[in-house]
Structure 1
């Protein structure tokens, strides 16, 4: 059977226009045909279905489905066109042998109208039934979500389609038109993720977060996800590692007249690869959501006409307070500081002159007032403000302008410091490279995957002397140079680099040529680091500076040392053991001041408990060291 054998529906009141190039004329000619694009099961690595996409005959004025359906809307025959596409798609099912599914696009209106006809509603006999076509394995992709106005009618129609064997998919979920309510109410068997969230997902952390959120929703609603628009190998690798069940896109196969029986070689190579993807990091704002409410101190206030004696008595009763607010009608009008009153009270005749006069005379008339809902990050400017009285005396916290309580500088410093420490665990603020948390997660992913990789721990030689001699600003420049050189040694698709603090970096490499990459990074850093010294130091090959024990001695130019551990499957149980083994290898590399020290694969760099090898074990740890290319004085000897 083909589309030409199928009678085209004509809605009541609709008539074909005289234009021979109209959509209705095209439907009568029966020249529409369907192309099939494969949908691939990423875990099973096989084609499990196809999406049917309408195509027009050669020479047709409407070259794309969008222009074809736009013309049908102008002529008022959209339902006839959708029905013809559905029948034509079903006619192609014999071309896809085996238990493969057929995905067909259908609007809510067509879905409801088709269910009415199948259920014996008004109209002629339904071609789907008279043709004897089985709907088992057919997945209806609900399009144009914004046009679902009668949800109850759609739910009723779905019960008819599902009874006939069909399933439901939400199409292009996340494109701005999709509705989370539809997902919840209709409980589709499949949800197709819009291609926006797939494109460059290997580089954009916020899209990765969105996919993970969609996975949680899919688990909640019992749906399976299909990622659309997969065009690059790196995108497919991330989707595979995330566990997205099904994928679709040009990398998996273009829409063709004949069905695609197997996964293309390029996509199959990605799905079969033992490497894991380096997931992009979206630097989190850890203190987002923290507000000034966390700083609120329930402190009594004074009326606006309170005297100096009243204020002194309040501070006597509340020794923990450093300031008190002056309030009129519930609104703060000033802030009197304890230290101000203490200094004034030491003056001769102060109590006689000012004791019974309003303390507003010596209060700050323009105190810092912070709304209780103000995010903490907006208050960090207080820390660097030239007016430090807010840190010393505190500030007033309000809600809707009305007095709630006080905030102290000590609390603000503590909260901001805690937030920044937590943020640094995710992304180092100096280099913006991933910190300890994502580094640990990536090691765990590598260990769980059971594939060999190379763990590298990089540290600088003579850096403390350089930092002490030239200052922190140039020290930061040295660390940023180290970050650039090490990052340049990494293949972003295979190798992960983390900055764990100071001049310590960890690289987790899946690149087969890791050794050559590290050698190039060491040579480049050692050469460029010389430029951060002044000419005299470069000529002398180092500087005179105090060591860690306060003894003045000569320190060679800063170079980099990298300890390397080859991690074989099953060799380490957890991320802590890998990190400890790499740190022990780095310790041996720094002792010899060699560019790279590789621990032999038959030798553990750390005991099973995960503790670093002590310095005395350096001579007994069997391994081989590859010196860096000579680029600086005594440090490279």
Structure 2
């Protein structure tokens, strides 16, 4: 019985691998996200199995070291083309090339395409991918190479867009037929608003330039559905199939079912306002004053010269190795210098003599909530002195108390248009937007209007702070019963919420929310009120009344596919759901559903009343 050697195998030379034809090809499908057809395959190269050069990374690293990278690329292309021809598959063949290899292909145009015809693959079936590692110092001289390949019938693509050298500049100048979005932006896009926004920007530019997008790195159903609903044309990734010598001719049933899923994705842009309201970046951008700083060893005369040169500068920061160590307020400094003989006595002395060595410092990443707490704190030095803004501890600029108040207010007002400032759930604008998407995609769903019974008396008795805690608890309960990939939860305002359910088990989810909330809300009452089962107060007419515990009521309207039916608007749906909510408040179960037919009757009745 032979034993494995304890010593690592010696990697063969690349030129030997090419000469002995020890390279093999594998292929990964590229799928049309609209219909699920496989449009083509990306050809990838592998070295000898079980050797240190089995992976493409190791192969090309060795080739770079040996100075044979372009020779390896050409050999890899020949290997992939030959194997693809033998498979006799339909569709395009995507091949990776560096800029240098593309130049060489174009220079030997006749030889290249004679070779293709001999192998049984026409140039029209090739998509030449420019790899992201390629640097093109002179793009103008590279354009003719692309033109030669296109004239022969091949298409041109930029690979792994968004990383390394795949830049917008290159996209504009090379005008590719296909752009493959790097997997970094696709993996996790269902839960990452920034990735979503980045891909949306690429999509807008693709539409303007006429390029077709391919989303690489699709590994999860949730990411696939988001990419599909965004309108990205094609996808590639392990969800459709790993690279294989004999790849599938059709996608799996699981992948097909995911593409045909009736629900539409809850776009992560719905949480964009939440992030904006939590992050201080937007506020800092609004209030930062770019101002020079002085070193610790500066003198008071240096400070005076700076203030005289910049009459609008309210303060100057003293830094040491880029980090702020003190702040000198203009008014305090000038008042001191106006005293008799002060300039003569202290002008040449260190500026730290009159500096505030513990200034208020705001890091750019500080949340809006913490900035608001600073406004309410007892330490109000920043109102007069101003404060220092840093980025990872390094000085970047100044701010004033006035600018802080204005910036926090403006950011909160802007965020409130998209998210409720208390629960940070999407507000009315995202709610309406998602309803329009559901209607536009002809998707059936349940619009559930959520309201809290007896909330106003509780709020009056216990105060707004405790009332806010109940609202946040309601938001937490509703969030937990929603499927984040299928169900959209928004906060209309006050104690009103709206859920757009696409989950099949929506009824069980709604019932669970009612049960969990009704049980949990009792902890917000004082012990005596818990024993009594509620609180004593006054109704809207001022009459003494006993109010039971705050409970949840959910009114639902079923919105079926609209084909051939009366078209709805977001206002129509909200109106009928609100009516269902009012009925639910008198139901013992707390849940009321208005069916499809009744909702249409109600809408027709309302339309008739308006028209009379």
Task: Provide TM-score, normalisation by structure 2.
Answer: 0.76
Distance in 1 of aligned mates of 2:458 and 2:260: 48
Relative to total residues, which structure has the larger helix share, 1 or 2? 2
CA offsets per residue over residues 529-553 of structure 1, 9 Å max, x none?
1111112111111011233344432
Bigger Rg, structure 1 or 2:
1
Matches within 5 A, 1:229-628: 229-280=217-268, 281-282=271-272, 283=274, 285=276, 291=286, 331=311, 383-384=375-376, 386=378, 417=409, 419-570=411-562, 571-592=566-587, 594-604=589-599, 607-608=602-603
Partner of 1:46: 37
State the 1:168 CA deviation. 0.9
Distance in 2 of aligned mates of 1:408 and 1:179: 40
Distance in 2 of aligned mates of 1:227 and 1:483: 34
Distance in 2 of aligned mates of 1:140 and 1:608: 56
CA offsets per residue over residues 409-441 of structure 1, 9 Å max, x none?
7x9867754542331221222222111111111
Q: What is the aligned length?
A: 525
State the 1:599 CA deviation. 1.5
Contact 1:49/1:103 (<8 A) preserved: yes
State the 1:58 CA deviation. 2.7
Worse overlay, 514-523 or 377-386: 377-386
Partner of 2:153: 165
Relative to structure 1, is the Cα distance of residues 602 and 111 closer, same or farther in structure 2, using a 3 angstrom cutoff?
A: same
State the 1:125 CA deviation. 11
Distance in 2 of aligned mates of 1:21 and 1:521: 64
State the 1:205 CA deviation. 1.1
Relative to structure 1, is the Cα distance of residues 259 and 605 closer, same or farther in structure 2, using a 3 angstrom cutoff?
A: closer
Distance in 2 of aligned mates of 1:473 and 1:255: 57
C-alpha root-mean-square deviation of aligned residues, in Å?
Answer: 3.9
State the 1:394 CA deviation. 13
Task: Provide TM-score, normalisation by structure 1.
Answer: 0.74
Contact 2:212/2:233 (<8 A) preserved: yes
Matches within 5 A, 1:8-157: 21-95=12-86, 97=88, 100-118=91-109, 127=115, 134-157=122-145
CA offsets per residue over residues 483-523 of structure 1, 9 Å max, x none?
12111221222111111222111100011111111111111
Instruction: For structure 1, list consecutive stretches of 5 or more residues without a partner in the other structure.
Output: 1-18, 295-326, 335-359, 369-374, 397-406, 615-637
Distance in 2 of aligned mates of 1:232 and 1:132: 36
Distance in 1 of aligned mates of 2:473 and 2:11: 70
Instruction: For structure 2, list consecutive stretches of 5 or more residues without a partner in the other structure.
Output: 1-9, 290-306, 315-337, 340-353, 360-365, 388-399
Distance in 1 of aligned mates of 2:55 and 2:202: 30
CA offsets per residue over residues 164-212 of structure 1, 9 Å max, x none?
1111111111124322111111111111111111111111111111110
Contact 2:287/2:407 (<8 A) preserved: no
Distance in 1 of aligned mates of 2:204 and 2:17: 44
Contact 1:107/1:142 (<8 A) preserved: yes
| Secondary structure, aligned partner of 2:584 | helix
Relative to structure 1, is the Cα distance of residues 610 and 576 closer, same or farther in structure 2, using a 3 angstrom cutoff?
A: farther
Distance in 2 of aligned mates of 1:555 and 1:274: 43
Contact 2:423/2:472 (<8 A) preserved: yes
Distance in 1 of aligned mates of 2:601 and 2:458: 30
Partner of 1:303: none
The counterpart of 1:212, out of the listed 173, 194, 200, is: 200
Worse overlay, 104-113 or 138-147: 138-147
